[in-house]
Structures are given as structure tokens and as C-alpha cells.
Amino acid sequence: MSEVNILGVVGAGPMGAGIAQIGLTSGLDVILFDLSPDARAKAGKDIKGRITRLVEKGMLPDGSTETMMARLTLASDLAAFAPAQAVVEAIIERLEPKQKLFADLEAIVAPDAILATNTSSLSVAAIAAHCTHKERVCGLHFFNPVPLMKLVEVITAPGTSAAIAERATALSKAIDKVPVTVKDGPGFLVNLQGRAYAQEGLAIVQEGVAEPVVIDRIMRDAAGFRMGPFELMDLTGIDVNYAASTYIYEGYQHDPRLKTTTLHALMAAAGRFGRKTGQGFFSYAAEAIGFPASPEATASPPEIKPALGEAAPEFEALAERAGWEQGNDVTLIAPIGEDCATACARLGLDPNTTVAIDFTAFAADHLTVMAAVGGRSTAESVADWLRSKGLWVEVIGDSPGFVLQRMLAMVANLGCELAQIGVGTPRDIDIAMKLAQNYPKGPIEWGEWLGIAKTHLIMQQLQAITGSDRYRPSLWLRRRAQLGLSLYEVG
């Protein structure tokens, strides 16, 4: 058997109903089961309503509602799945009920039928533990809302056969999804990779480098992310992302690169879950909605005559933009992966009059500046001067790698680690994060964009300065940086 014409779905909640809907709109016969008659009835009504709206918008042909609903069976017993060539489970996210369900289904469906779980976090191998034929169990992890989100993670457990993985991939394409093949493990691909973006933002706040609103602005305005890490955590729910972070950290044997922060735990304990509670890292009271824009120049910004503490190619372009004259008002540096204090000590510069500039997003007219201990007022003056030249400038506390360098390098480094341990291919890692999380570039793309050698240097500097293996470079990144190869180079 290779083609799926009859799709079974267990669970009539939002995920199950969404999977059933895309099965119908893709031309399949669908059997939808739920223990609750009310849930079945509601799912049927909701599916019909959504298909009708698609017809009204001209996105489906006239008459589609009737023809598609005629292919939907609302089943009251698992025995109805006997003719199904594939069954997708979307029930409660608990291991024991899923294990029992799969063992029951195995005795009902054909020997070559696909059995797939839509779990977002539980091990596929563990779900298949009570099955006799584990080779036909895989994961098909859809994202909510199912009809709109294009990505499907096709998850292969150690016992999943290559033939089942291929058929599950073909099924995903047949229902108009973009499949990526993912190795079974905590967080699969998307939830695992997403730890870097959120948790490095948390680490930066906990270090006192910048407030959440500043970090979010930098990631949106300088890097093009649709949401900053804190706005995103507030949207998904801090209770949800803290639990996921803890589960993944424990599942990967406490790898420091996946460790979250005390701040994260405190927010979860305080019940400040984000939008769902009206208060997270930001307030969602009606009068508080909205995020402050980047500061603009004051009415009378200073005219600064800087000296350069160290050569950097970007300073020539900045000098042309700012039209500065050489002087000794301040000393400007452009460190890679260093904090200002470390650079001042290395170069023998006065920390009170030295300001570090991050040029990572200079092409987008965005700069970040910082100074060593005691130099904040100097950094503020430089920022105001640069704003008067038409640049967007953020001021942060001293930090190795500023904000943007370390955030992007951490995203890229974790992507490299996923490639190294075989969670997914470099290109699948990029596709998954762009489709599921709206990343403007995939993790591997960010490493290439920053520069592979530069990304590796940022990670090395972060590890050396902080003394933390949180910033340990992935061997995938290290070897390709050493050999001058692309991060997409495999083998």
C-alpha cells in the first residue's frame, strides 16, 4: 500500500478537527472519532462552517461543502477505522492514554496502515512501546491552526521503518503541507530549536544588559523577526514555554546550551503567563497595549569628534554617513563577541570614554551601542549623536556580543547542533523555523549571513568571557569554520 485515500483521526478537539478538515479539502475520505458525542458533533459543525466560508471566499468551488461533508464519517467506535490506510492521533497530551490507543488501533487497522501521533512533546518511541509492530508508528506533528500552518514534522522513532516515513511524507504533501523529516527526541525540531531565541533573551535580561522591550525592538527592527522573544513568550504562554524548556533541558541530559533562567521560573511561579492572564513580560491591559518605539534624537544632539580604538571596515561607511571629524571626544570600537570592558583591557583604552558599536544591522540603519562600567552616559551621548544622523540606535549595558550578535549566534549554533546530532538536515531546519515560527532566516541561514567564521568567533568569545559551556560552539559549526566550508556542507 502506498497511497492514502481514507484518513482516520482520533480526537475531535481543535487539532483533530483541523486535521480532518485538511483531509477533506485534499480529497480524502475522513473518519473522525472522539469518545464524546458532543465533541464529535461540534467538530462536524465547525468543519462544515469553515469549509462553507472557504467556498464563500472563492477559495473552494461551489458545492464543496456538500461533497466534502459527504466524505466525513463521525465515528462512535474505534472499529470504524478498519478501512483507514492512515490514522492520526490528536488526543490528550499524556503518555498512558496514547499508548493504550495505539495498541488498540493496531488490532483494528490493516497491517500496513500508518499509525501517527500528533504529539508536540512526548516521545514517539514511548507512545509505540506497547505496539507489536513499532515499525509503522511515526509522528505527524501539525501546528495550530492546522488549516493555515504549512509545516508538518514527520517524526521517525528508532523503530520507524523507512517505508512508513516515506509514506507519511507523501501523505503530508497530499494534504498540502510541507513535511520535514525529524528524528524523535525531546522537542523534536521546532520546539527544540526555539529554545535559543527565547532563552538567550531571558539570559540577557537576567544579566541586566537590557529590558525586554529593548531586546524585542532590536530583534524586530534590526533582524526582521516578526516578534521579539518576550512578546512571543507572552503570546504562547509562559506556563507553556517554561514547561517545554524544562522538559527539553532534562531530556537532553542538562545540556547547558538548553538551560533556561531563574527569571523564567519566577514568571511561571507568579502566574504571569502573558496575554492569557493579562500580564507577562508586558501588560495587556487595554491602556497598556503597544510597545515603545526606539528613542529618537534630542532637539540638540551633541556633535562628537571620535577617535578609533581599533580598525573596522564599517567605520569608513559610518564616517561618511555621520560626517565626523577626527578628535578625542570618545574612542569608538566595534568588537565581535566581546564586551566593552574586555576590549578596553585588551586595547589599553579608557573605559570612561570608550563606546562599542555593533554594526551587525548597519545595512538596516540600525546600531547598538554599549560602554564599560562607568561609561553609560558616554554611550548615551554617542547614541544621540548617531540618531541625529538618521540611524536607529539602542543603548544597552555591557555584554559580550551585544544583543544581536549573541542572539543570532546562539540561534545559529543550536541549529548547527541539531544538524550535528541528526535531528534534521540543515535545509529542513531552516524550512521548519521559517514556516512554524516565521523566522526571517532559518538558523543555518543566520550563521551563513553573519559569516561562519564570525559566528564561531562570537561563540568562542562568549564562552571564554562568561566561562559558561552554555556558549560551547557546536562541532558542526567549529569544523566548518576551521575548514572554510558552508554550514550546509554535509558528510
204: domain CATH number is 1.10.1040.50
Residue 329 located in a structural domain: no
- CA dihedral defined by 321, 326, 330, 332, rounded to 10 degrees? 60
Nearest to 154 by CA among 489, 425, 384: 425
pLDDT along the chain (491 residues), means of 10: 87 97 97 97 97 96 96 97 97 95 96 96 94 97 96 97 97 97 96 97 98 97 96 95 94 96 97 95 76 77 92 93 91 98 97 97 97 96 95 97 98 98 97 97 98 98 98 98 97 80
**Same structural domain for residues 68 and 158?**
yes
Beta strands in 359-398 (DSSP E): 366-371, 392-395
Going by the DSSP 8-state scheme, the letter that residue 279 receives in this structure is B
Q: What is the pLDDT of residue 294?
A: 77
**Alpha-carbon torsion angle 266, 270, 272, 277, nearest 10:** 160
Taking the whole predicted model, whether its pTM rises above 0.75 is answered as: yes
Q: 288, 314, 342: which is the final residue of a domain?
A: 288
Burial (CB < 10 A; 0-12, 13-18, 19+), residue 108, is middle
Residue 220 lies inside a defined structural domain of this protein = yes
DSSP string, 212-262: HHHHHHIIIIIT--SS-HHHHHHHH-HHHHHHHHHHHHHHTTT-GGG---H
Same domain flag for 162 and 213:
no
| Whole-number pLDDT of residue 159 | 96
Could you tell me if 29 and 157 lie in one domain? yes
C-alpha cell at 155: 517524526
Residue 201 sits in the same domain as residue 174: no
Is residue 467 in some structural domain? no
| Residue 137 belongs to some domain of the structure | yes
358 to each of 204, 205, 355, 423, 455, how far by Cα in Å? 16, 18, 10, 32, 14
Catalytic positions are: 120, 141, 153, 191
Could you say which of 260, 288, 316 is where a domain stops?
A: 288
How many angstroms separate the CA atoms of 212 and 19, rounded? 36
C-alpha cell at 269: 511561579
Q: What letter would DSSP give residue 51?
A: H
Is 13 a member of any domain? yes
For residue 83, give the CATH number of its domain.
3.40.50.720
234 and 121 together in one domain: no
Residue among 244, 261, 262 at smallest CA distance from 252: 244
Predicted pLDDT at 214: 97
pLDDT at 96: 96
Nearest Cα neighbor of 473 from 410, 425, 423 is 410
Amino acid at position 301, single letter: P
Beta pairing class for 178-183 and 392-395:
unpaired
pLDDT number for residue 292: 73
Which set of grid coordinates corresponds to residue 360? 551587525
Element (H, E) at 88: strand 86-89
Strands (E), 327-377: 330-333, 354-358, 366-371
Strands 151-156 and 137-142: antiparallel
- Are 151 and 223 members of one domain? no
The number of domains in the chain is 2
Same domain assignment for residues 251 and 150: no
Question: 94 Cβ partners below 8 Å, 6+ apart?
Answer: none
Query: Is residue 272 a part of any domain in this protein?
Result: yes
Do 217 and 166 lie in one domain? The reply is no
Are 221 and 149 found together in one domain? no
State the cell numbers at 199.
532563552
**C-beta of residue 116 within 8 angstroms of C-beta of residue 172:** no
165 and 212 assigned to the same domain:
no
Domain membership of residue 165 as a residue range: 6-183
Class of residue 352 by CB neighbours under 10 A (exposed 0-12, middle 13-18, buried 19+): middle
Residues 118 and 163 placed together within one structural domain of the fold:
yes
| Domain end point (choices 247, 268, 288) | 288
Residue 356 β-bridge partners? 333, 370
46: its cell numbers: 465547525
**Same domain membership, residue 126 and residue 82:** yes
pLDDT at residue 289, as a whole number: 59
Beta-carbon contacts of residue 283 (< 8 Å; ≥ 6 apart): none
Tell me how crowded residue 416 is: count the other CB atoms within 10 A of its CB.
29
Q: What backbone torsions phi and psi does residue 12 show, to the nearest 5 degrees?
A: -105, 25
CA distance 55 to 388: 53
Taking phi over 0 as left and psi of -120 to 50 as alpha, with beta for the rest, 55 belongs to alpha
pLDDT tens column, 323-377: 888 999 999 999 999 999 999 999 999 999 999 999 999 999 999 999 999 999 9
pLDDT digits (tens, 9 = 90+) for 376-392: 999 999 999 999 999 99
